[in-house]
Amino acid sequence: MRLSRIAFLFCSIVGLTGLLIQPAMAAEHAKKMTPAALVSYKITDGPAIKAINKSLTGKAGDMVAGEKTMVNKKKGNCLACHVVTKLKARAAKKPKKYADMGLIGPPLDGAAGRYTEGELRMMLVNAKAAFPDTIMPGFYRADKLTRVMGKFKGKTVINAQDVENILAFLVTLK
């Protein structure tokens, strides 16, 4: 009885890591990121929501790198809120990154069928442009924010190439 309770306490503590993006670890990442000015982009109307049709970097995205950024808890941490069914099998080998996918947002399965590439780019850059009340963070914006923690001030969660890389992965979700 006692032992099982102790085991339970321990598991709960271990199980808690990586809830959202973790500030302590995230700080390291933020320091390494260059505070260069943000790439400018143009917002247009897509068929369903607002869109950014041109690549932010002019370079093609790398979907393998994109998946890494998506599951990185210090970066995209997309699985905190979204299910991606085709990634579920990876939980067997890498439970920390792939297990316990969140159910806050809709599953990303089929997202590329619902939205154009430009609309998906908009979602990543600043989801609020499409859904004003959304809980989903804007991953490539640093303006009009309130009381940002010192080490993240003026910085975006991910960089422009990260956006393109994640996008390369998202467009495979047909």
Partner 1 sequence: MGRFIKMALAGLVASVLMGGAAMAAADGKSAAVMNKGDHPLPEVWSGYKWAKPETQATQDDEFENPANLWTEQGKALWSKVDGSAKKSCQECHNDAKSSMKGVATRYPVYYGPWKKLINLEQRINLCRTKFMKAKAFKWKSDDLLGITIYVSKQSNGMPSAIEVNAQTKPFWEKGKAHYYKRRGQLDMACSHCHEKYFGGQLRSNVLTQGHANGFPTYRLKWQRPGSIQRRFKGCNKQVRAKPYKMGSDEYINLEHYVRWRGNGLPNETPAVRN
141 burial type by CB count under 10 A (0-12 exposed, 13-18 middle, 19+ buried): middle
User: Nearest approach, Cβ of 99 to ligand HEC (angstroms)?
Assistant: 16
Return the bridge partners of 50, or none: 45
Name the segment binding ligand HEC (CB under 6 A); options: 6-14, 51-59, 87-95, 131-139.
Answer: 131-139
Shortest Cβ 109–ligand HEC spacing (Å): 8
Nearer to partner 1, 27 or 39 (CB): 27
Alpha-carbon distances, residue 41 vs 44, 47, 103, 158, 173 (angstroms)? 10, 18, 31, 16, 24
Out of 2, 32, 104, 144, name the contact with ligand HEC by CB under 6 A. 104
Q: Give the number of other CB atoms < 10 A from CB of residue 71.
A: 21
Among 30, 63, 39, which Cα is nearest to 125's? 39
Residue 1, token pair as written in the block: 């009885």
24: number of Cβ within 10 Å:
7
Binding flag, residue 25, partner 1 (CB under 8 A)? no
Residues lying near ligand HEC in the complex (CB under 6 A) are found at 19-20, 70, 76-78, 80-82, 104-106, 108, 111, 114, 120, 123-124, 131, 134-137, 139, 166, 170
Residues lying near partner 1 in the complex (CB under 8 A) are found at 5, 8-9, 12-13, 15-16, 18-21, 23, 26, 79-81, 99-100, 102-104, 128, 133, 135, 137-138, 142, 145-150, 152, 155, 157
